[in-house]
Structure 1
Amino acid sequence: MRQSTRRRRRSSLTGYAAAAAAAVLAVCGSGSASAATPGNVTAGGTTVGARAGAGAPGQADVLSAPTLVAHSVLGDVGYREVGEGSPILLVMGYGGSMDDWAPSFVDALAAHHRVIVFDNAGVGRTSALPAPLTVSAMADQTSALISSLRLHRPAVLGWSMGGMIAQALAVRHPGQVGRLVLTATQAGTGRSLPVPPAAAAALNSPIPAVELSVLFPGDQTAAARAYAGGILQYPNFYRASDVVKNAQTGAVQQWMAGAEPAGRQVGRIRTPILVADGTLDALDPTANDVILTHSLRRAGLALYPDAGHAFLFQDAAEFVPAVDRFVS
């Protein structure tokens, strides 16, 4: 894809996603988007440009972290990093971008770790991969990012589809992964229960409040409002295009059907693994968390009551310390 086309697509997507997020706040409560400012790009490790409003030196603040580009063997990968310490790589799920990580969640992890967030294939400044898109191909691109950034066996935390990518990464590139945290995700053995059709439809709804309703239980409106308000603070908020989401849908379906070798080989993963989810996850029934845990050699399971697919943001006060203990 030519650069000019990529810029037009990203500009259009940015405007749509910002409007959608604003609509979420209109339904959930009050809030306002911050002024948009351009991100940064690196060339040969040198930062070009700067976002306004950067935090104090040493302060964990993902909202003011520049957007950088790693030039990997599998194309450019857009990323941001914040904090110091042992590295944790966060892998985003279906339809999302770096901007879908709650800033408070990232900053809490960055209090003790070097946290890297990035965009999956075809999202933002990350190069697209050849069709048909697969979970394993996205895992290989993630591996290329790890190599490009010279990360030494980072802990990898994957959310939803990102958890599938994390599993494939550990199977295909075991020497690159320290510990795994798999959140609200499914095994690729072909035994997982399908995503309920109504929940899948809600996740793709053009009405932001409907999409939000499958991430948080109905009695957790405060958590939903806090999440929506948090992601709106990112400059130039954006998400995956419909074309990319369609490709991701196919990749997820293939993974859950057991059609990818890496999905059937997760039992080979030797690194310690934490599986976690909310007990009321509308997209991923709790039975799938049990199936996934039993598919793995060295996995423990943590379930958070009265929480859904976005439990890691709703219950960050408990979950972040659990991750700290697990990866330390």
Structure 2
Amino acid sequence: MRITILGSAAGGGFPQWNCNCRNCAGLRAGTLRAKARTQSSIFIQPDAGGDGLLLNASPDILQQIKATPALQPGRAIRDTAIAAVLLMDGQIDHATGLFMLRERGSPLPLWCTDPVAEDLSTGNPIFRVLQHYCGVDRHRIEPDGSVFEIPGLAPLTFRAIALSSKAAPYSPHRDAPVPGDNIGLIVTDPRSGRTLFYAPGLGEIDPRVAEAMHAADAVMVDGTFWTNDEMQRLGLSRKTAHDIGHLAQSGPGGMVEWLGKLPASTRRLLIHINNTNPILDADSPERAALDRAGIAVCEDGMTLDL
């Protein structure tokens, strides 16, 4: 299977439109060795050149389609390589791009858990709005690790597990989480036996998540913040990374430590990187620490073949 990184930033992208932190200001001024990034989303194809699955529909989806010819194969006067969309959560930076797909000639095949479907029918009623356009052909995901398939994407198989993170601010589950608010996805190509574990929003690594990470050939996980108090120290928020559902990379029990426990052959990648995170600076000591640990920082346009 081929995995294409369409967007690798957290909500707001990089640089963020209203932010003048060291990273955003430095990128605009050309004084920071870094690359601009759109909001996180990936595209998975059973084979390069075929139809695939869009994982999360960010507000930047039109820019991402324009930058990725594989998503627009041009086989007919109206065409797309997006066979289906799967949502990892109901966050605004992962779901509002659905509005940009409204010109479909048939209901949009969309896979999500019940809590996400609830949030996108009530607090942020995207599904209800889309009924006035193409409509939504919604399929339920059970976050219990059971295997499911998606039409048009054979022979890939999928399993979802519930994660500890945060539901969207407009969700009734924001401070009372339920299984399925956020999921991690295990994607397997039975031809090669190789597996991807994908979790762009991850607040805690419990035994089930640790098991999925150890079993995967590639692990693409939450790279939002370097430190737990990153936003507080910059005066941008009163909340910690943990408060908003993300496990920081550094420190005891951080993402870097967890990734260091994986088999040496595992490909380790960070995605959903906040504009304040120093790892965006290619010359930073934090990026050097990741390089020494064998951890890659996702960039828009990267591809990974498994």
TM range (shorter): 0.3 to 0.5
- Normalized per residue, the structure richer in helix is 1
TM-score, normalised to structure 2's length?
A: 0.36
- Normalized per residue, the structure richer in strand is 2
TM-score, normalised to structure 1's length?
A: 0.34
